[in-house]
Chains A and B, each alone.
Chain A
Amino acid sequence: MKALTRRRWLLSLTTALLALALTAAWWLAGNALRPADLYTGWLLLGLLLGLAFFNARKKLPFLPLLAASTWLQIHLYAGWLACVVFALHAGLRPPGGRLELVLWLAFLIAALSGIFGLWLSRWLPPRLARSGESLVYERIPRLRHGVEAEVLALVRQAEKETQSTTLADFYLRVLAGYFARRPPLLAPLAGDDARHHRVITELAALRRFLNPRESVLADQLGELLEAKRNLDAQWAGQRLLKLWLFVHIPLTYGLLVLVGAHVWLVLHYAHRL
């Protein structure tokens, strides 16, 4: 068994056993008329703070606070455990109070966004790697602009050298729009290559109108189209890999604020009672 697979099995099993033990303890505490919800509440708060510290660790790379990969493993499995503790604490049905409902929804969305991010970070990178050369996200707009300029120059060159407008017409009819288009947000999930293949097919269909010189230029055009496809794939994929964090992290901080309010309210009224 590979090392990473072994690690995954080991940690999954440990988390499952811990979750079972916690559930049993919660059940026993409930039966013994102990404040089981208070225990699970404090445990959940601790887990949430621990989960949130993963992001703080990233800001302190110069401190020997364990490797980020270890932190991610802790984050993942503590996250699964937090879901179980949350279910024990708040139940599987939406609570009645407004604050509790918002809190319940915030946890749910934060957890789901985390699960989506985990799946995405395992599913998408191999597809990006197979798509073509890996690129730095910030450089892609400049590279895309360069490809667009090359395509335009190529079409002009074809028109000038061959006195033929076949490629120029194709540019106006198809390519200009194709190059102006940016891939939609969820394009990586849909495997959005259909439009690219349609453009390639249309270019192939033009071949019967091209002389040998134009054919050479059309070959170069095909390579630029391939470059554009990879640029779009890398850009859209990396954008999605970054964007889910813009949901997960702010929501986590929001959740912590709501949890603070929840704890204050609980302690406040518990004291009065």
Chain B
Amino acid sequence: MAKSVSSAPVQTGSIPPQGVASRHAAPERWDKPFSADMQEVDVDLLLAHPLFVATDPRRFPASIPLRGILKNDARVRRFQRGEIIVRQGDYGHSAFVILDGAVRVLLKEPTAEQLGHRRQVRPSVWGSLARWWRRPRFAEQAGNRGAAAELELTRDGEARIFLQDVPGVLAPDRTALLGTGEMFGEIAALGRTPRTATIVADQETQMLEIRWQGLREIRKYSPEWKQQIDRLYRERSLRRHLAETALFWNLSDEVLGRIADATRFETFGEFDWHHAYHRGREAGERERLEQEPLMAREGDYPNGLLLVRSGFARVSRRYNHGERAESYLGKGEAFGLGELISGWQGQFRPLRHSLRALGYVDTLFIPTAVLEEHVFPRLTPAQLATLTQGLAPEPAAPPAAPEANSFLEFIVAQRFMNGRAAMLIDLDRCTRCDDCVRACAATHDNNPRFIRQGPESDGVMVAGACMHCVDPVCMIGCPTGAIHREGLDGQVDINPDTCIGCSVCAQSCPYGTIQMVALHDAAGLPVVTEETGAPIRRATKCDLCIDQPSGPACVSACPHDALVRADLRSSENLNRWLHQ
């Protein structure tokens, strides 16, 4: 797109006098409370509840009082028996505490249909042909679309999903019971990870739901809550996470337990990083870098290992007056290991790189002493040599020019390393024939699910197609769970039957790849609501042709090998394609 360069010139007297200016209240943290229904009396009841009796309100700063948190960052919800509270795999932004009643954690996951998900089955060739034959004449035709049986909308528009076959699924031998006072959902809320289990109301249950911002503050200022949340995390998730980390393989449960006890939880960056990302896109690279929270500084001596639990971090080195990205770390990757081992071997070295949070990063900090006692002695000489490789002082050869890493810099600056299936177009090969766009339209209701335009670097364009992100912020806040991750290959898909067109996902997507489209009837007329006459819309995006027998139509339709869906977490495949 042509860049607009006609920025308004600064003119003397261009700022209107105060009497003329429109007045708005300065934006404040609690301008948008979690629920408009929370009243002072509800807060009083909560403060008198055993959950909060031990919480000292005086520990909270005057600007963020406990009362304010409960009023603005929490809400009280009632669930009926069989109602799904959270679903495994969904992305949530809140934790739940049972005020009264009981819930069941499903130990055996029900079918996708029982949870209100759509089961994806790749059709046969004849099935595809039949669907093409029956294709609608108009784009985005409503057809037989309607709310799924398990979806109910309340009077205030809140979506509630009920489990199908409640007695069968909630059988005691297939579930675990949680009662009054117990908490769940805190891992997903604070760690930005998918829900690890599906939880269903076992009876009429009253719950306190706290959104992540409030939970973070309560954990910060209340030692009792911090202790409880950290204990839950250690019990439910940390050991498993450590056991899955390559460095800690083959350690006994006892040793893992000691490491887990010594581990500290640290978070960097804004949870709603996509808002900062939108702001940062306008800024230059230097300002953007300055906005990235520093997690570890080049030249400092490390006192522990940083393990990325979720999110991404930029690994960079100073280059004259700037910093250049050398790589990025994602979930499960460690920072500072080589320097720590070198120090253990008697050669203390400072960190060779800085580490900066790209968006929201959740880390585990494991102190050096624990590693030196339990982990390093178990490593073989070959492993130690590999891990400390490249730590020796560099020869006097000039460093590589920053241009050499320009594509990596581009990926990091645009936060594209989040993409598991980014659409990359080699502009040196692309003839702009739009066969990819036509193929997409032909396989998706006559409406292409992407735009062949986007940021470019080194002759490669990252087109405006859903990247099926590692950290799909679009899934946070979907009221019906219509946008979800498919279990098989991890595609992020939207169930058209449960999408209510609220556009939360479209607004959250940092890359603008979700489009809200108006639905049409068989005659091509717009479909509107009975009450207001407003057009009914639904969210659409690339689904990686999950229901096509030949895979992504855009890739197979490109005659020039110019288009690929690339996992940007791994630079190996990317480099192979770039230099094919």
Binding site for B on A (CB under 8 A): 2-4, 58-65, 67-69, 71-72, 121, 124-126, 128-130, 133-137, 139, 143-144, 146-147, 150, 153-154, 157, 216-217, 220, 223-224, 227, 230-231, 237-238, 241-242
Assess the A121–B431 pair: CB atoms within 8 A: yes
Residues of A within 8 A of B132 (CB): 60, 62
| A and B contact pairs by CB, cutoff 8 A, 9 listed | A2-B579, A2-B580, A62-B129, A64-B549, A69-B559, A72-B559, A129-B427, A134-B456, A241-B432
Residue of B nearest to A223 (CB): B5
B555 touches A67 (CB 8 A): yes
Which residues of chain A are within 8 angstroms of B438 by Cβ–Cβ distance? Answer: 58, 61
- Whether B128 pairs with A143 at a CB distance below 8 angstroms is no
B557 — which chain A residues lie within 8 A by C-beta? 58, 61, 68
Given contacts A64-B556, A135-B1, 20 further A-B contacts (CB under 8 A): A2-B579, A61-B553, A62-B128, A62-B129, A63-B550, A64-B125, A67-B555, A68-B435, A68-B557, A68-B558, A69-B558, A121-B431, A125-B430, A130-B459, A133-B1, A133-B456, A134-B456, A135-B453, A157-B9, A231-B2
Given A68-B556, A224-B5, verify A129-B451 contact (CB < 8 Å): no
Shortest distance between the CB of B508 and any CB in chain A (Å)? 25
Q: Report how far A253 CA is from B549 CA in the complex, Å.
A: 30
B528 at the interface (CB under 8 A from A): no
Contact with A along B406-431 (1 / 0, CB 8 A): 00000000000000000000011111
Question: A62-B548, A121-B560, A129-B427 known; A220 and B1 CB under 8 Å?
Answer: no
Q: Does B129 contact A63, Cβ atoms closer than 8 Å?
A: yes
**Given contacts A61-B443, A61-B557, A69-B558, are A125 and B433 in contact (CB under 8 A)?**
no
Chain A residues within 8 Å of B2, by CB: 133, 135, 143-144, 146-147, 227, 230-231
A72 touching B560 in the complex, CB below 8 Å, given contacts A146-B2, A153-B6, A227-B2: yes
* Chain B facing A: main interface SS: loop
Q: Is the CB of A227 within 8 A of B550?
A: no
Residue of A nearest to B545 (CB): A62
Per-residue CB contact flags for chain B residues 433-463 toward chain A (1 = under 8 Å, else 0) read 1110011001100000001110010010100
CB distance from B107 to the nearest CB of A (A): 39
Q: How far is the CB of B418 from chain A (nearest CB, A)?
A: 22
Q: Are A220 and B5 within 8 A (Cβ)?
A: yes
B548 touches A4 (CB 8 A): no
Per the bound structure, the CA–CA distance linking A247 and B42 in Å amounts to 75
Question: Is B580 a contact of A4 with CB atoms below 8 Å?
Answer: yes
B431 touches A125 (CB 8 A): yes
How long is the Cα–Cα vector from A63 to B434 in the complex, in angstroms?
A: 18
* Interface 0/1 of B130-152, CB less than 8 Å to A: 01100000000000000000000
Nearest Cβ in chain B — how far from A14, in angstroms?
A: 19
CA distance A61 to B435 in the complex (A): 9
Judge if B285 is at the interface, Cβ distance under 8 Å: no
- Tell me, in angstroms, the Cα distance from A147 to B125 when the chains sit together: 48
B432 to chain A, nearest CB (A): 5
How far is it, in angstroms, between the C-alpha of A129 and the C-alpha of B461 when the chains are bound?
10
- Chain B residues, CB < 8 A from A61: 438-439, 442-443, 550, 553, 556-557
Which residue of the partner chain A has the closest CB to B126? Answer: A63
Closest A-B pairs by Cβ, 8 of them: A61-B439, A129-B427, A64-B550, A72-B559, A223-B5, A227-B2, A68-B559, A126-B428
Supposing A62-B132, A133-B1 touch, asked if A224 and B442 sit within 8 A by C-beta, the answer is no
Q: Per a CB cutoff under 8 Å, which of B4, B432, B550 touches A150?
A: B4
Bound-complex Cα distance A242 to B430 (A): 12
The minimal Cβ–Cβ distance linking B397 to chain A, given in whole angstroms, is 28
Residues of B within 8 A of A69 (CB): 558-561
Question: Which of chain B's residues have a CB closer than 8 A to the CB of A153?
Answer: 6
Instruction: Decide: B3 and A223 in contact? CB cutoff 8 A.
Output: yes
CB pair A227–B5 under 8 Å, yes or no, is yes
Q: Which residues of A contact B1 (CB under 8 A)?
A: 133, 135, 139, 143
Q: Is the CB of B433 within 8 A of A241?
A: yes
Q: Is the CB of A129 within 8 A of B428?
A: yes
Residues from chain B with a CB closer than 8 A to the CB of A139 are 1, 453
- In whole angstroms, what is the CA distance A72 to B431 when docked? 13
B433 touches A71 (CB 8 A): no
Q: How many Å lie between the Cα of A128 and that of B461 in the bound state? A: 13
B128 close to A63 (CB less than 8 A): yes
Cα distance A136–B459 in the bound complex, in angstroms: 16
The CA-CA distance from A55 to B525 in the complex, in Å, is 33
Complex partner residue of B553 from A62, A135, A137, A146, CB under 8 angstroms: A62
Which chain A positions have C-beta within 8 A of B7?
A: 220
Tell me the complex Cα distance, A65–B132, Å: 15
Query: Could you tell me the distance in whole angstroms from the C-beta of A19 to the nearest C-beta in chain B?
Result: 23
B9 touches which of A4, A126, A216, A237 (Cβ 8 Å): A216
Closest to B8 in A: A157
Which of A64, A125, A147, A227 has the most CB atoms of chain B within a 10 A radius of its CB?
A125
Beta-carbon contacts of B34-61 to A below 8 Å, as 1s and 0s?
0000000000000000000000000000
Q: A68-B558, A134-B461 are in contact. Are A128 and B443 (CB under 8 A)?
A: no
Residues of A within 8 A of B442 (CB): 59, 61-62
Most chain A CB within a 10 A radius of its CB, from B3, B443, B456, B555? B3
Asked if A58 meets B435 with Cβ closer than 8 Å, knowing A63-B550, A67-B555, the reply is: yes
Query: Is the CB–CB distance between B128 and A128 below 8 Å?
Result: no
In the complex, A231 Cα to B459 Cα: how many Å? Answer: 17
Most buried by A among B7, B128, B432: B432
Question: A-facing mask of B182-204, CB < 8 A → 1, else 0?
Answer: 00000000000000000000000
Q: Which residue of B lies closest to A75 (CB)?
A: B559
The docked-state distance in angstroms from the alpha carbon of A136 to that of B434 is 9
